[in-house]
């Protein structure tokens, strides 16, 4: 293992390209960016020096919607419609999940995210205490929500309330600034208004976020209007779920008034273009309206069984291309905006700092290979990062000043992959045995 992973202290990234200029980035021992500029090397006596000469630095990417441990289900069930996919394939398999599975799956997901430049993620799933342990060990930032699903049944609601309370108490007890909790009402079609209202009140009491799926399909909207006489965003709002700490995933079928409502409430909309295209939800998030009304729009991959990877570099390209294609506008979502979506907007959503390379910001830094084929020629680094390159261009990743990957090496990688492959096989075998 490279000794850089065990070294602790201040870091100097020497002579790296940022916004087209060559600068130094100095990181102090608390993990914050202390100086950035032509001669920043003079400001510190760095313990660790990283040569930035063939590198482009960008802020660490933030994945605002995923189900990390679903990495175990990658390629297990593809090419289906959403309702069938969930009810016939995914949920029956998830019924056999254990905490050990979630630990192994989340470690695999963290490895994949680090290898493609992601430093923070917003997760919704089960056995989240084990997911939190995995993310902490991998050195990432993450927010964990237990996926609250009551299907309108009071008994189930009580169980979900207990599970949510237990997770939040556990995460609070960790007292780890990188690891946070949120409340995770799954969606308006799986959670009753009573459940949604409880989730909102509990999130407010605990001063934590809410993570929810919103308007993913047209069916969700039609069914919601038929059952409750209002569209999904209004139902969530009535239950108190739309807050400045809410992340709403997908948002494909929002109408213009719902976009304005999200903006007014300060909600972050998480765009998940690859999942939306794969599941053919038949409408792209109305990004133009969300932007027009000033909503925060961030980026997410969704789980590995509807994507099928966690590469946010690819997701930036999908977002830019899908928006242009769906709304017939080649000027919509330019490269710079796609990067801001994956960085600053995500950081704002999760409260992890400004998500920029600026003095005082946490040193969440990604170094891309400037000599890679996809980065040649290097006219516009943003353009190459979004349109030409993918996660394979990521060479080095820092989170809070700690080096998680260097020269594409992540400590423990082989063991993580081996364990995840074994765990996935055994999960599927258990499910098949019982069916
Ligand atoms: O695209 C999706 N739409 C709705 N539900 C999903 C999607 N992807 C994963 N899950 C499901 O959400 C729950 C999280 O706790 C899990 O049951 C997961 O399978
Ligand atoms: Zn999802």
Asked if pLDDT for residue 7 goes beyond 90, the answer is: no
Find out whether 324 and 372 touch, Cβ atoms under 8 Å: no
Residue with tokens 């019924």: 95
* ipTM associated with this complex: 0.96
Could you tell me what percent of the chain has a pLDDT over 70? Answer: 100
pLDDT tens, position by position, 35-81: 999 989 999 999 999 999 999 999 999 999 999 999 999 999 999 99
Asked if pLDDT for residue 3 goes beyond 90, the answer is: no
Ligand 1 atom at shortest distance from the alpha carbon of 145: 15
The domain covering 3-54+368-408 belongs, at the CATH homologous superfamily level, to Urease, subunit C, domain 1 (2.30.40.10)
Instruction: State if residue 278 touches ligand 1 by the CB under 6 angstroms criterion.
Output: no
* 376 Cα: distance to centroid of ligand 1 (angstroms): 39
What is the Cα–Cα distance from 276 to 278, expressed in whole angstroms? 6
What is the Cα–Cα distance from 286 to 262, expressed in whole angstroms? 12
What is the Cα–Cα distance from 35 to 106, expressed in whole angstroms? 34
Q: Give 35's DSSP letter.
A: E
What's the pLDDT at 333?
98
Find out whether 340 and 292 touch, Cβ atoms under 8 Å: no
Residue 105: nearest ligand to its CA?
Answer: 1
3-state helix, strand, coil in the chain (%, to 5): 45, 20, 35
Check the annotation: does 211 bind a ligand.
Answer: no
- Ligand 1 pocket mutation, candidates 63, 64, 67, criterion most atoms within 8 A of CB: 67
Asked if pLDDT for residue 399 goes beyond 90, the answer is: yes
Instruction: State if residue 124 touches ligand 1 by the CB under 6 angstroms criterion.
Output: yes
- Whole-model pTM above 0.80? yes
Check the annotation: does 94 bind a ligand.
Answer: yes
Under 8 Å CB-to-CB from 288, ≥6 apart: which residues?
323, 327, 329, 332
Instruction: State if residue 275 touches ligand 1 by the CB under 6 angstroms criterion.
Output: yes
Find out whether 75 and 421 touch, Cβ atoms under 8 Å: no
* 351 Cα: distance to centroid of ligand 1 (angstroms): 23
What is the Cα–Cα distance from 322 to 284, expressed in whole angstroms? 7
Check the annotation: does 406 bind a ligand.
Answer: no
Cis peptide before 401 (omega within 30 of 0): no
**Backbone phi and psi for residue 414, each to the nearest 5 degrees, phi listed first:** -60, -40
Residues written for the chain? 435
What does pLDDT average to over the chain? Answer: 97
Q: How confident is the model at residue 30 (pLDDT cuts 50, 70, 90)?
A: very high
Domain residue ranges of the chain, discontinuous segments joined by +: 3-54+368-408, 61-350
Strand locations in 38-178 (E): 48-51, 55-59, 61-66, 118-125, 141-148
Residue with tokens 């979502």: 333
What's the pLDDT at 8?
85
Nearest by Cα to 271 from 114, 62, 64: 64
Residue 65: nearest ligand to its CA?
Answer: 2
Q: Three-class SS of residue 264?
A: helix
What's the pLDDT at 362?
98
H or E element in which residue 201 lies? helix 193-206
Q: Dmax over Cα atoms in the chain, in whole Å?
A: 66
Copy the structure tokens of residue 142.
Answer: 């993450």
Instruction: State if residue 216 touches ligand 1 by the CB under 6 angstroms criterion.
Output: yes
Asked if pLDDT for residue 335 goes beyond 80, the answer is: yes
Asked if pLDDT for residue 1 goes beyond 90, the answer is: no
- Domain 61-350 class? alpha beta
Residue nearest to atom 17 of ligand 1 (CA): 91
Check the annotation: does 369 bind a ligand.
Answer: no
Find out whether 19 and 340 touch, Cβ atoms under 8 Å: no
What's the pLDDT at 242?
99
* 220 Cα: distance to centroid of ligand 1 (angstroms): 14
Nearest by Cα to 181 from 201, 159, 210, 138: 210
pLDDT tens, position by position, 131-150: 999 999 999 999 999 999 99
Check the annotation: does 67 bind a ligand.
Answer: yes
Check the annotation: does 264 bind a ligand.
Answer: no
The mean pLDDT value for 343-352 works out to: 98
- Ligand 1 pocket mutation, candidates 64, 147, 310, criterion most atoms within 8 A of CB: 147
Neighbour-count burial for 23-62, b at 16+ CB within 10 Å, e otherwise: bbbbbbeebbbbbbeeebbebbebebebebebbbbbbbbb
Asked if pLDDT for residue 245 goes beyond 90, the answer is: yes
Could you tell me what percent of the chain has a pLDDT over 90? Answer: 97
Instruction: State if residue 220 touches ligand 1 by the CB under 6 angstroms criterion.
Output: no
**Backbone phi and psi for residue 114, each to the nearest 5 degrees, phi listed first:** -60, -40
Q: Return the half-sphere exposure (C-beta side, CA atoms, 13 A cut-off) of residue 401.
A: 24
Instruction: State if residue 302 touches ligand 1 by the CB under 6 angstroms criterion.
Output: yes
Burial (CB count <10 Å: 0-12, 13-18, 19+), residue 396? buried
Report the Cα–Cα distance between both ends of the chain, in Å, rounded. 44
What is the Cα–Cα distance from 363 to 23, expressed in whole angstroms? 15
What is the Cα–Cα distance from 359 to 27, expressed in whole angstroms? 9
Copy the structure tokens of residue 207.
Answer: 């001063």
């Amino acid at each position: 293992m490279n000794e850089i992973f065990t070294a602790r202290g201040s870091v100097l990234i020497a002579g790296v390209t940022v916004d087209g200029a060559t600068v130094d980035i100095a990181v102090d021992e608390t993990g914050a960016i202390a100086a950035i500029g032509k001669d920043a090397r003079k400001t510190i006596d760095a313990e660790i020096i990283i040569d930035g000469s063939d590198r482009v630095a960008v802020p660490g990417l933030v994945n605002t919607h995923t189900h990390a441990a679903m990495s175990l289900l990658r390629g297990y069930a593809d090419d289906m419609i959403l309702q069938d996919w969930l009810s016939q394939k995914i949920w029956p398999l998830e019924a056999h999940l254990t905490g050990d599975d979630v630990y192994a799956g989340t470690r695999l997901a963290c490895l994949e995210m680090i290898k493609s430049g992601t430093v923070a993620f917003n997760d919704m799933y089960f056995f989240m205490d084990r997911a939190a342990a995995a993310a902490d060990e991998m050195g990432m930032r993450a927010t964990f929500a237990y996926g609250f699903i009551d299907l309108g049944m009071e008994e189930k609601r009580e169980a979900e309330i207990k599970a949510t309370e237990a997770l939040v108490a556990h995460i609070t007890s960790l007292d780890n600034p990188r690891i946070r909790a949120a409340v995770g009402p799954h969606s308006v079609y799986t959670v009753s208004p009573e459940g949604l209202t409880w989730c909102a009140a509990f999130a407010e009491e605990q001063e934590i976020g809410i993570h929810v799926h919103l308007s993913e399909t047209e069916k969700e909207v039609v069914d919601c209007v038929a059952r409750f006489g209002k569209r999904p965003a209004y139902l969530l709002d009535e239950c108190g779920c739309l807050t400045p700490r809410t992340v709403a995933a997908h948002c494909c079928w929002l109408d213009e008034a719902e976009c304005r409502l999200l903006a007014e409430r300060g909600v972050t909309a998480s765009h998940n273009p690859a999942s939306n295209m794969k599941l053919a939800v038949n409408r792209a998030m109305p990004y133009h309206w969300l932007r027009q009304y000033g909503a925060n729009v961030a980026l997410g991959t969704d789980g590995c069984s509807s994507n099928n990877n966690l590469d946010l570099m690819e997701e930036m390209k999908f977002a830019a291309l899908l928006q242009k294609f769906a709304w017939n506008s080649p000027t919509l979502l330019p490269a710079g905006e796609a990067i801001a979506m994956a960085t600053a907007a995500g950081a704002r959503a999760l409260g992890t700092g400004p998500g920029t390379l600026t003095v005082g910001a946490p040193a969440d830094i990604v170094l891309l290979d400037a000599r890679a084929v996809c980065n040649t020629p290097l006219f516009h680094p943003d353009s190459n990062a979004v349109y030409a390159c993918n996660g394979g261009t990521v060479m080095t990743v820092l989170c809070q000043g700690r080096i998680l990957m260097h020269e594409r090496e992540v400590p423990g990688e082989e063991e993580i992959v081996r364990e995840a492959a074994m765990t996935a096989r055994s999960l599927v075998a258990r499910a098949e045995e019982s069916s």
